Each structure stands twice: as structure tokens, then as C-alpha cells.
Structure 1
Amino acid sequence: MHELPQTRDLAVFVAVVEDGGLAEAGRRLGVAPSTLSRTVTRLEEQLGVALLRRTTRSIEMTPEGRDLLEAARGILERTEALSELVSHGRRPRGPLRINAPVPFVLHGLAPRLAAFRAAYPQVALTLDMTDTPVDLIGAHADVAIRFGPVPDSAMLHRRLGRAGWRLVAAPSYLERMGRPERPADLAALEQVRFAAPDHINTLRFRGLADPVRPKPSITASNGEAVRRLVVAGLGIARFSEFMVAEDLAAGRLVELFTEELIAEPLDITALYLTRSSGLRRLAVFLDWLEEIV
């Protein structure tokens, strides 16, 4: 009967793969790459198969290595979850690093995080805000919240909900420029534009073959900046509904042609690494996200 691999050896193997090499894993773990290499070699000898193909610049998993990676992640998840349960009872605790777009943090998370903190005071949250896709391993993040199609990757994901779109303007702007009576009239107005992605700037409506193209007013590279410019009366723009829900309720913005606007709602998805999914603090955070989205 073969001796089972040690959990620490499996953890080293997973770290080397996820960090992209011995040197990278060594820097993160504070261990010499030669030590990690010996650990992987010991694991290969114990299992009787080659797990990694090493070159001077990179590593590549063998088919056996890919099989072991999934099994090792599962073992480490269960081990960590058991450790949390035994050490701290059933109350989640510990650090949790979240990466999310700036507008979602400001308008989706920040107004509601007090409730999560009240329920789980021992979970220490760190919020990183980026509007571009992020490498969870490189960013040392436990979970990333993203809008749109799920990228093809080894990460697990959970769909949290969908975000519709709202075309809006400030009342002061419409008083100055005149409120359009039909979508085609929007061409006479000005649009505050997103620098990226450009498709947000495209305005399509039922009954019109071509997009309506208002004159550009100001272009901004940050969604929150675009929102503030629109609230200030500098033009129209369309936003995910969570970004402008409070502005609409307070009368700072008004909707334009909601029924006629053609814009596919965006999936809101939480992405996370397999090795992190066993953490109870991550599990309760994902459950909470599903409730608020």
C-alpha cells in the first residue's frame, strides 16, 4: 500500500502551479525555490509519476499533474475548512480580500457592508478596486466580482444576479436642452462617454435601425467619474442600474426611454480560486452577495 502524500507537500505543489513557477512561489511563501523543487520531486517519487515539466523559464503540468492538482485542491479545501471548524467553532473568521470594480464597491457593497460586518465581525475584509480584469493569484485576492461574460479559466465562479441598464440625465440638463420626446431626439443632446469599454456608449432603441449618436461631451476613464459628470448636468449616459438607483430615487437623475432602450443585462459573477472555496468566510460572503445583488 502506497503511503499517502503529506498535506504540506500537496500545498507546495498547488502553490508552484498557481504562482506559475518555483521562484514565484518561493517569493510568496518565503521559501527557497530549491526547497520547493525538492518537495515536488519527493511527491513525484512517492506517486511514481512526473507531475511537472520544468524549463528555465516556465513549468508545464503533465496530464498526471493536472489530475493531482484538482485532487490536491480538494484535499486542501477540506483540511482548511476542518481546521477552521475545530479551532474556531462555527463562526467564520480571518482575512478575506475582495477585488471589485470601483462603482460596484461604492454603490453595491459600501452601503451594505455594515450588515455583513454585524453578522460576521471576525471576518477582516480588504477591498481592492479595479475596473479591469485581475489575476487573483497575483493580486492575492480571494474573490473577484466581475460584470459580463465569465472568462474561460480554471477559476470557480458563482453567478450572483444580473444588472440592467438605465439611460439617464440630470433634470437641470433636460431643462436647459429640452427633454426629448422620442429616442431619435437624443441625437441633439450631448453624451458623457466612457473611455472603455466603448460599447457602453452605444445607444440602440426599438424601432430604430441604427444607433443614436449624441454629440460627445466629456470622456472619462472611470465609471464613477462619468456618473458624477452626468449628475452635474454635463450630458446623458447609460449605467448599470445599481450605479444610479439612489440618484433616481432622490431625483438627481431621471430615466429616458427605459422601455425602448436595447441593452442586454450584464451577469454579475463572483470568481474565486478552487483552493479558496473551502473557506467558510468566503462561503458566507458569497451567500451574502447573492442576497444583496
Structure 2
Amino acid sequence: MHELPQTRDLAVFLSVVDHGGFAEAGRFLNSAPSTLSRTVSRLEAELGVTLLRRSTQAIELTPEGRDLMQAAREIVSRAEGLTELATQSRAPRGPLRVDAPVPFVLHGIAPRLCGFHLRYPEIDLTLDMNDAVVDLFGSHADVAIRFGPLRDSRMLRRRLGQTGWTLVGAPSYLDRHGYPERPEDLADFGQVRFAAPEHINDLRFKGVPELVRPRPIVTATNGEAVRQLVIAGLGIARFSDFMVADDLAAGRLVPLFPEALEADPLDITALYLTRASGLRRLAVFLDWLEEILRPAT
């Protein structure tokens, strides 16, 4: 009877693929690259196929390796699930690395994270803050939080909620420039702009056939910098609702034409490699994110 490959060997193969090479996987697994290379070679010998094309600079999956990758993820996830099931009486524990945009960490996660820690004190959470979209395979993160349309076809995903948009200005700015009576009046206002994606700067309103284009004042590559500049009275900008909810409640910012602004809400999605059902610390973190993003009723 043909002997099935060891789950640990499949896990090593996946780690090498996800980290883009033996050296990177070795650092992550705290193991010598030569040891990992022998493990993958043993797996290839057992299966009778070549899984990876190796060079001094990179690795590349063969078609057989690509086919095995999907099956291996399922096998490793199920094995992790059995381990979790055997210890389900214990609280979720262990390291969990999360990659998320800077504004979402600052305004969505950080203000509520104490509650998560009190509920799951044995989960060792690491937050990587990135405004740019990162490659989850190369970032070493367990889960990435992303907004809007997705391109990562290889990833498992879970929709956590949505966020709308609000156009705002600081009272100090509006006191100096006057409060607009119509959306078209905003063409005479200054705008603090996002460097990317540029569509955030587009202002469309119901009943107004063309884009309203305020005067560009300054452009920033970081969403939190845009927020601080608007609070300081430099100009107007539109933000995801979660970014400015506290500012609106405290009166630091004022909404402008909230019923007339036309902007499609953004889906908030978690992307991950390991099935959440097979890793309890990931599952409870995603449940918690969905909970804090649920609209208040």
C-alpha cells in the first residue's frame, strides 16, 4: 500500500511556498534551510513527482506542486482542527499576526482591543500596519484585513462588514470659509487629498451631474495624516465612516451633505491561508472583528 505523506512534511512544503523560499521559511520555522530542502525532497520522492523548481534565487511551483498545494492546505487545516478539537476545553492560545491598514488599526481595532485581550488573554497578537496592499504569502501574517474589491484568488476569505463614507470639514475651516449651501459650492473650498487610491478624492452628489472638484491643498500618502490635516483646518476630505465617527461625535469634524454624497460602501474582508475552522485563535479573532463592525441597532 502506498504510504501517505506526513502532515508535517506537507506543512513544511506549504511554508516554503508561502514564504517564497527555503531561507525565508527556515527563519519563520526556526529550522535550517537544508533541513527543509531535505523534507521537500523526501515528499517529492514519496509522491514520485517534482513539486518545486529550485534555483539559487527563487523557487517555482510545478503544475504538480500547484495541484498539491490546494490539497495540502486542506489536509493541514484538518489536522490543525483535530488538534484544536482535542484541546477545545482550553482557551484559544498562541501567536496571531494581523496585517491591516493604518487607519483601521488606529480607529477600528486599537480602541476596542482591550476587550479582546480580556476575553482571550492567551492569544499573542501582532499588528502589522500597512496602508498599501501587501502580499499575504510574503508578509508572514496569518490574516490580512482589506477594503474594497479583492484580487487574491488563492486566499480564503470572510466578509466582516461594510463601511460607508462621510465628507467632513473642521469647524475652524468652515468658520473661515463659510458653510456651503449646495454641493456645488464646494468647488470653492480646499481639499486635503489622498495620494492613493485617487478615487477617494472624487466627490459625487445626488442631483449634481458632474464631479465637484475642490481646490487641491495638500496630498498625503497616509490616511491618518489626511485626517489630522483636516482636523487642523486645512481643508475638506471624505473618509470611511469608522475613521471619523469619534471626531463627529466630539465635534472635531462636521459632516457636509451626508444625505447627498454618492459613494459606494466598501466591503471589509479578512483574507487568510489556514481555514479559520481549523485554528481557533483565528476563528475567534474574526468573530470579534465581525462583532465590532456590526452596525449598532
Q: Which residue of 2 aligns with 1:269?
A: 269
Give the CA RMSD over aligned residues: 1.9
- After superposing the two structures, state which structure 1 stretch, 276-285 or 90-99, moved more: 276-285
What is the alpha-carbon distance in structure 1 between the residues aligned to residue 227 and residue 2 of structure 2? 62
Say which is worse superposed, 220-229 or 28-37, in terms of deviation.
28-37
* Identity across the alignment (%): 72
Q: How far apart, in 2, do the equivalents of 1:124 and 1:32 lie? A: 25
The amino acid across from 1:12 in the alignment is V
Matched, 1:7 2:7: yes
Distance 1:36 1:275, change over 3 A: farther
Q: 1:72-125 CA distances to partner (integer Å, 9 max, x unpaired)? A: 222222222333443573410111111111111111111111221121111111
Deviation by residue 1:134-153 (Cα, 9 ceiling, x = unmatched): 12233221111111111233
Q: How does 1:1-293 map to 2 (within 5 A)?
A: 1-87=1-87, 89-274=89-274, 278-293=278-293
- Unaligned residue ranges in structure 2 (runs of 5+): none
Relative to structure 1, the CA distance from residue 218 to residue 207 in structure 2 (aligned partners, 3 Å threshold; closer, same or farther) is: same
Deviation, 1:236, is: 0.8
Unaligned runs of 5+ in 1: none
* Cα offset, 1:262, TM superposition: 1.5
Name the aligned partner's letter for residue 83 of structure 2.
S
Q: d(CA) in 1 for partners of 2:275 and 2:52? A: 19
Displacement, 1:219?
2.1
Three-state SS of the structure 2 residue aligned to 1:49 is coil
SS in structure 2 at match of 1:111: helix
Partners of 2:258 and 2:212 lie apart in 1 by 15
Aligned residues: 293
1:163 Cα deviation (Å)?
0.9
How does the TM-score come out when normalised to structure 2?
0.91
Question: Quick one: distance in 1 between partners of 2:83 and 2:257?
Answer: 54
- Provide the C-alpha distance between the structure 2 equivalents of 1:62 and 1:216, rounded to a whole number of angstroms: 50
CA gap 1:234/1:257 in 2 versus in 1, 3 angstroms: same
What's the offset of the Cα at 1:21? 2.5
The 8 Å contact of residues 276 and 283 in structure 2, kept in 1 or not, is answered as no
Go from structure 1 to structure 2 and tell me whether the alpha carbon gap of 1:113 and 1:32 turns closer, same or farther (over 3 Å shift): closer
For the 8 Å contact 2:82–2:278, the answer to whether it is kept is no
TM-score in terms of structure 1 length: 0.92
Cα pair 1:142 1:276 within 8 Å, conserved: no
SS of 2:111's equivalent in the other structure is coil
User: Is the alpha carbon distance of 1:124 and 1:29 closer, same or farther for their aligned partners in structure 2, counting shifts above 3 Å?
Assistant: closer
